[in-house]
Amino acid sequence: MLDTPHIHEDGAVALDAETQAKYEHLQAILRDMESVLIAYSGGVDSALLLKVAYDVLGERALGAIASSPAYAAEETDEAVTVAHQLHLPLITLETHEMEDERYVKNDVNRCYFCKTELFSHLVPLAKQRNMRYIAYGVNKDDDGDYRPGQRAAREFEVRGPLKEAGMGKREIRAIARMLGMPVWDKPAMACFSSRIPYGSRVDVASLQMVYKAEKLLHELGFRQLRVRHHDKIARIEVERSEIPRLVEEEMSRTVTDGLRKIGYTYVTVDLLGYRTGSLNETFIKKKKTS
């Protein structure tokens, strides 16, 4: 749960001493980097990283956002709009992970191949723009889950300044709020492929089903959610506090009817509620006991 920051009478948000120190550490890290190309998605992590980098480095900081079927087009458009609102320099590029059979077959290293595709585009771009480093929005809280994309980052020598500064989600949101960024409380986002269980192939039709299902739930007022795609079964994760509203008779009928129109036969609710990386749980348990 995000700590309530101190708010002055003039509406300004103050950081606690520890968060302020980490913010200053992040600024120092970026200043030492001299120039950086940042993988930007529009989420609070990468948005804060790009914002602080631009504040510190000016035109020697640049963001790059990838367009892909694994993300909703409106999410990408919104991310671009936010960057423009904050006057952050940004370029767009297309990635082609869906053309990589290793990605499409969706084993436990899917994210590795996704990040490899992204970074393979960013490396020549950084050279072209004379950027000394490439960075992305990994933070210290990401260490608690299985993240094969971090291996790709190490191989491409992509840095994680937020993590280097010891920042987790709490500090990132607090600093973004203090800086007046509209995404400071934006729900965590991840590509739609992360909704498909390992071993089930990733295809555009499945990604579109997930997109339409999650859009429906967002439009019904659910904020932080995932629809896990188990072929014809939709497993819905919402915040535990919102489960009673989801299973209320009229709402459950509306959701079920809507998801059946999208192509699901059965609609279920995960009683543990929303959590990141729930499809990793079985894999991680097997790994620990092996």
- CA-to-CA distance for 57 and 50, rounded, in angstroms? 10
Going by CATH, does the domain composed of 6-178 fall within 3.40.50.620?
yes
Structure tokens at 205: 């039709």
H or E segment at 122?
helix 110-128
DSSP H helical segments within 129-225, as ranges? 149-155, 161-164, 169-178, 204-219
Q: What is the pLDDT of residue 68?
A: 87
The single residue listed with the structure tokens 């899917």 is 110
pTM of the entire predicted model: 0.88
Q: Which residues of the chain have pLDDT under 70?
A: 1-12, 145, 278, 282-290
b/e sequence 215-227, b meaning 16+ C-beta within 10 Å = ebbeeeebebbbb
**Residue 111: active-site member:** no
Residue 225: in which H helix or E strand, if any? strand 225-230
Say what the pLDDT of residue 244 is. 98
Give 178-191 pLDDT, tens digit per residue. Answer: 999 999 999 988 89
Q: Which two tokens stand for residue 20?
A: 């302020």
Q: Which of 82, 162, 191, 217 is catalytic?
A: 191
